[in-house]
Amino acid sequence: MEASGGADEAVSGELVSVAHALSLPAESYGNDPDIEMAWAMRAMQHAEVYYKLISSVDPQFLKLTKVDDQIYSEFRKNFENLKIDVLDPEELKSVSAKEKWRPFCLQFDGVIEDFNYGTLLRLDCSQGYTEENTIFAPRIQFFAIEIARNREGYNKAVYDSVQDKEDKGADKGANNGEKEKSDKGEEKEKKAKNGVNESDEIAM
């Protein structure tokens, strides 16, 4: 998605600097409210960029990294039966879950930049980033689950919901206008697909 590349890169750059600060031992900054606020703001910006992507482009056409195939293959090999449409936090955060996730995540050290950087992950993929629907997860865990959600069709609910709202907001009486809007929508999605196919990676 070349059109969103600039915004994504800006967010990514900001996330890296905060990631460095957050990678320091806790005693380095204690309960510094500035650090906590900076993390929250940057993490939320990252979340907003991603949510806009899956709202405007059919998620099955999105490519989040250069190694999506590898991530998805390894994810489903290790977590074949993990329910990803609505996540159970225990499947990510319990002691036994962390022991299983650790080797999966570590194999992408050096493959995915800042693979263990803290990221916001939605529990219910049909919903947005709300306090009740969000948990903290390593970046590679975010990629693994969201790539699977995109490929397996779960994130389509977000895209369909946004498209339905746009359709309902249109003037129902203007048939010609509706046709023009539909044509433009098809053209927009066609361009989006081409953008995804031409780009090796969406910077996240």
For 77-132, what is each residue's pLDDT tens digit? 999 999 999 999 999 999 999 999 999 999 999 999 989 888 899 999 999 999 89
SS (H, E, C) 75-93: HHHHCCCCCCCECCCHHHH
User: Virtual CA dihedral for 94, 46, 44, 140, nearest 10 degrees?
Assistant: 10
Closest CA to 123 of 84, 73, 169, 68: 84
For the full predicted model, state whether its pTM sits above 0.85: no
Domain ranges of the chain: 33-160
Q: How many CA atoms lie within 13 A of 76 on its CB side?
A: 11
Q: At what angle do helices 2-23 and 33-56 cross, to 10 degrees?
A: 160
CATH tag, 33-160 = 1.10.3560.10
Helix (H) or strand (E) holding 135: strand 134-138
